[in-house]
Structure formats: structure tokens, C-alpha cells
Amino acid sequence: EVNKAANFIRNIIEADLESGKHQSVQTRFPPEPNGFLHVGHAKSICINFGFAQDYQGLCNLRFDDTNPAKEEDAYAKAIAADVEWLGFKWSGDIRHAADYFDQLYAYAEELIEKDLAFVDELSADQMREYRGTFEVPGKESPFRNRPIEESLDLFRRMKAGEFDDGAMALRAKIDMQSPNMNMRDPVIYRIKRQHHIRTGDKWCIYPTYDFTHCISDAIEGITHSLCTLEFEDHRPLYDWVLDNISIDCHPQQIEFSRLNLEHTVTSKRKLNQLVLEGHVDGWDDPRMPTISGMRRRGFSPASIRDFVTRTGVTKKVHTVEMSLLENSVREDLGENAPRAMAVLNPLKITLSNYPEDKVEEIAAPNHPQKEEMGKRNIYFSKTLFIDQDDFRESANKKYKRLVLGKAVRLRNAYVITCDEVIKDADGNIIELICTYDENTLGKNPEGYKPKGVIHWVSESHSKPATIRLYDRLFNVPNPGASDDFLSTINPESLQVIDNARVEMSLANAKPEDVFQFEREGYFCADRFEHSAENLVFNRTVTLRDSWAK
């Protein structure tokens, strides 16, 4: 169950099934193919597909492609792939609002014939002026009362291409005095000579979103049309259209609040700008809040679904902290990601008392709690690497790592003691000479106590790797509220480490495999750039919440 918790939509659906108003649930997810899906869409997907799933119903995937100027086939493909990746299956074939253009046209003629729509010749500017404002009631167009026959004739000629773009429009005849601006004789068809990816140049008039959406829902037999709150004021128009055309189905539109996430933007327009201006490396850059970006970052579908569930289904407008998303991811990876060792900033160690050519194979558990995840071999030898951050020449008691003259345990291996520090001419530490205690494999040393446990790899049995560390893309919690959201970009959102060393077993990692690099965080092999010859890992999330204020 995706939408487990009791919520107002669930209540409506259950009441409708109980009363017999509906025998089954049919929902739809209706994206406009003008960009990649983002985390907000994930919420809409989980709600629409999730409710259908919870009640053994069906959910359609319908492209709302009535705006030919902005749509691209590549977006449609990416959207469908994202929905599938999130774990949902749409019912039947993918639908397109454009598939209904003939029916929509016929319903428009029906409205004209019922004297409920008319062809208006006011210019766009005049229309705006006549519409009035919230304070000022609208004025009726002088063309509003033209004879039905005349509107019908003009509408047919609009379709036939006799008039210029914008020369006239078809408007519903509702109420210019309505306090709801959407009801002041809204435009339902406009002339627009534009090639459409599905219908080509067949049409030079296109229906508006409001006219299209409700009819598409009804054609598909949608029972509950679930959408975000900004459509609340459009509901009276949704109902008006369906009440006034001859169609049997009348879906119930129900609105819920959008998902807003701190430190990011969830507007396709702004995300598109980030891509076009090169602030990120494409729509699927791991810093992007897009579904494909989160995927490339290493988030699992289950963790995204879990996150959405935790944000709840309400009408309350709120912004969710990034830590909520990261906690869902962390929990999932903590359970499911195998452990491995990776040294981000290598510092060489030579074990003076370890034989030159000896290599020891040690079986290390892949997960400390889950034995069923098995073991992999790690290799111990005379030359090792630890992280530069894990050594100090002198340190206080709080530093539980390697210190000159002191001992530390190497994870899954022996206890070593640092005897000597080697520096280059500039005084940089370049190597440590240590001794290992051969009686400490899986045993505590006798007579002394090592200070903590650090990770390591052997020189001979490790591989070079590129590691990318990601941080928040924006420095402020609400970049979208800024006049210039680009100025709030975090210039340090990506740090590339190209001389890391990772344990041998990671040469077998497949793109998108996830790991906990012990003590460093959760990482995934890059979906596109990682290969056995060129290891590339992206940090999904740190081990602990680093966002705490």
C-alpha cells in the first residue's frame, strides 16, 4: 500500500466504493511533456498510481500535449521511463490528449449549438481588459450574442485555416460577473499554426488545458481526478464543461497540496534554465531534484516512495526539509547497501614487519547485521592506504584514529602502530612507517588498547577511482522565492576526487550498484560513466544528517 495513512482522498474513495457510486477506481497521471519529472511529480505519481493500486484499480499515463510549442518526444520517453522506474505500471497504452482532438472539436461544436460558446473577435489585449479583475466585474464581449449559426460557421472556418493566428477564439459563454476569473467566458480554442508531434499539421486550432483536461478524464472513465491545489479554482469550469456536453462520465476533481522541498526548485521552467545555462550537467545531473537525477544519485525507487508517503496527503501547503528525503534514502541504503572500503585521500603506509610478497585474503562481511548478504574477500599486504584525515602526528583523546606512536585497528584486519612519519621537502606527510600486530586478526591485542577503527585498502589490491561528492545545489532554503534564483546556487555543490583508491571487489560493481563506503557515506556507481576500466562513484548521501541547523 502506497498511501497507507488515513487521508481525505482515501476517505472519499472508500465512501464512493461503499455507496456503490463506483465499482472500481480509475485514476490518471497527466504530465505535460515539456521537461523531466521532478520530486513533486513523484508525489503525484505515488498518489495517482498508488490509490489505483491500493484499491485494485487502474491508472492511466496520459500526456497532456495540447501545447505543441513546448513539447518534445524525448521528454515523453524520459517521463514514461521514470514512471516505470518508480515501480508503477499504467493501464493499457500510453494516452495523449491529442488523441482526443476530434472528439474535443465535436464537443466544442455541441457547446456552440447549445448557445454555450461563441466565436469572439476581440484581440487578446481587449479580452484581458473586458475580463476585469478580482475587484472589477467583467464586461461581456460585443460578439457574445452573435447568432449560433454565425459562431458555428466561423469556428469551422477557424479550423479550416481561414484566419490568422489570434484573429479570433472560441469562448465558453458562462458568466462575466463571476467572482471566479476562470468562469468569465474562458477561451476554449485558439488559432495557433504550430506543428504537433502527434497530429502534425492537421490542426491550426488547439483546445485549452481547461477544456481538454476534463473531457479527456471523462473519455477515459476516470473516477477520481487527483490534482494539485492550483486547480481548485478551475474545478467549477471542469464541472461546467462536463455538465453541458453529452458525455456520461463525470469524474470528481480532488485537489491536494504540492510537494515543495527545501534547498531546491521544483518548477520545470527553472530546472530547464539550470540545464540550458549549464549550471548542471543535464536534467539527470545527480544534484537535480528530477527523478532521473535522484536515480543517478543512487536513490532507490522504494526510498522515494517512502519519502512521499511520509510527507502525507493533505491540503496544507508546506515545504519539506531535505533531511526528510535523505533520511528515507539513508534508511533504505543502511538496510540494503553492501559495505565496502574506499580511501578518498590516500596516504601510504608501509608495514615494516610484514613480509614483502605476502598477501592475505580476509573474508569481510558485506553487511554487519545481515549475514545473508554474504562476504567478499579483501586483501592485506605490506603497502596500504588510509585516508589522510585518519592520521595526525599528535592529537588529543577525542581523536580516535591513527596518531604517531599510537595504535589503531584497521577495519576487518589487524591493529597497527605508527612508528615514523616521512615528509617531502615542503613538510607534507607522504608516508607512514608502521608495524602490525600479527595476533590481532579478529582478536583484541594484549596489553594495549587501539584508538578506534579506520578503513584502508591495500596498494596491490585496490583500484583508482573517481569519486564525486555532492552538496546542496542552492545555499538558501527557498531559492524559488529569490528574485534571481541563480544567484543562490552553491558554487561548491560538486567536488570531484580523482585519485581515490577503492577495494578490489568494487571493480565488479555495475552501474547503479549502491554501497556504503565505510565511514564515508553511501555511494553508487554512476549509471552512465562507470565501467570496470573507469570506476566512478557518486555520493548518494552522507552517513549522518549533515543538514541539521
On whether the CB atoms of residues 322 and 500 are closer than 8 A, the answer is no
Task: Work out the number of other CB atoms within 10 angstroms of the CB of residue 498.
Answer: 10
**Separation CA 293–CA 283 (nearest Å):** 7
Under rule CB under 6 A, residue 267 binds ligand ATP: yes
Q: How far is the CB of 219 from Mg ion (least distance, A)?
A: 19
Of 3, 25, 41, 527, the one binding ligand ATP (CB under 6 A) is 41
| Min dist. Cβ of residue 271 to Mg ion (A) | 11
Which is catalytic among the residues 258, 375, 411, 451?
258
Q: Which stretch binds ligand ATP (CB under 6 A): 28-36, 116-124, 447-455, 495-503?
A: 28-36
Burial of 326 (0-12, 13-18, 19+ CB in 10 A): buried
> Is 533 an annotated catalytic residue?
no
Question: Closest approach of Cβ 31 to ligand ATP, in Å?
Answer: 4
* Binding-site size, ligand ATP (CB under 6 A): 15
The residues in 323-362 that bind ligand ATP, with binding defined as CB under 6 A, are: none
* Rounded distance between C-alpha atoms, residue 132 and residue 58, angstroms: 42
71 exposure class (CB count in 10 Å sphere: 0-12, 13-18, 19+):
buried
* Active-site annotation holds for 258: yes
Contact between 213 and ligand ATP by CB under 6 A: the answer reads no
530's grid cell: 562507470
User: Is beta strand 375-380 parallel, antiparallel or unpaired with respect to 360-365?
Assistant: antiparallel
Part in contact with ligand ATP (CB under 6 A); list of ranges 83-91, 166-174, 266-274, 348-356 = 266-274
Using the minimum distance from each CB to ligand ATP, give the nearer residue, 44 or 212: 44
Bridge partners of residue 281, in order along the sequence: none
Quote the least distance from Cβ 138 to Mg ion, whole Å.
25
Q: How far is the CB of 35 from ligand ATP (least distance, A)?
A: 6
Among 40, 207, 450, 479, binds ligand ATP (CB under 6 A): 40
Q: Which of 324, 326, 320 is nearest to 40 (CA)?
A: 320
Contact between 43 and ligand ATP per CB under 6 A: yes
228 binds ligand ATP (CB under 6 A): yes
266 binds ligand ATP (CB under 6 A): yes
Cell of 272: 530547464
218/243 Cα distance (integer angstroms): 11
Q: Among residues 43, 131, 268, 472, which one is catalytic?
A: 268
| Cβ(345)–Cβ(286) below 8 Å | no
Among 27, 30, 78, 168, binds ligand ATP (CB under 6 A): 30
Choose the binding region for Mg ion from 30-38, 185-193, 241-249, 448-456 (rule: CB under 5 A). 30-38
Q: Which is nearer to ligand ATP, 314 or 499 (CB)?
A: 314
Count of Cβ atoms closer than 10 Å to residue 319 Cβ: 14
Residue placing its CB nearer to ligand ATP in the complex, 34 or 516:
34
Q: Residue 207 binds which one of ligand ATP, Mg ion, none, with CB within 5 to 8 A depending on kind? A: none
What track of x and - describes contact with ligand ATP for positions 57 through 86 (by CB under 6 A)? -------x----------------------
Q: How many CB atoms lie within 10 A of CB 363?
A: 10
**Sheet strands (E) in 453-520:** 453-454, 457-458, 462-470, 494-503, 514-517
φ, ψ for residue 523 (rounded to 5)? -135, 155
119 Cβ contact partners less than 8 Å away, ≥ 6 residues apart? 112, 143, 146, 150, 151, 154, 155, 158, 168, 169, 170, 171
Q: Does residue 296 touch ligand ATP according to CB under 6 A?
A: no
32 part of the interface to ligand ATP, by CB under 6 A: yes
Residue 504's region, left for phi above 0, alpha for psi from -120 to 50, else beta, is alpha
Quick check: is 544 catalytic? no
Q: Would you say the C-alpha torsion 29, 35, 36, 39 has a positive or negative sign? A: negative
The yes or no reply on residue 268 touching ligand ATP (CB under 6 A) is yes
The partner residues of 120 in beta bridges, in order of sequence, read 169
How many chain residues bind Mg ion (CB under 5 A)?
A: 1
So which residues are the catalytic ones?
32, 258, 268
Residues that bind ligand ATP (CB under 6 A): 30-32, 40-41, 43-44, 64, 227-228, 258-259, 266-268
Residues that bind Mg ion (CB under 5 A): 32
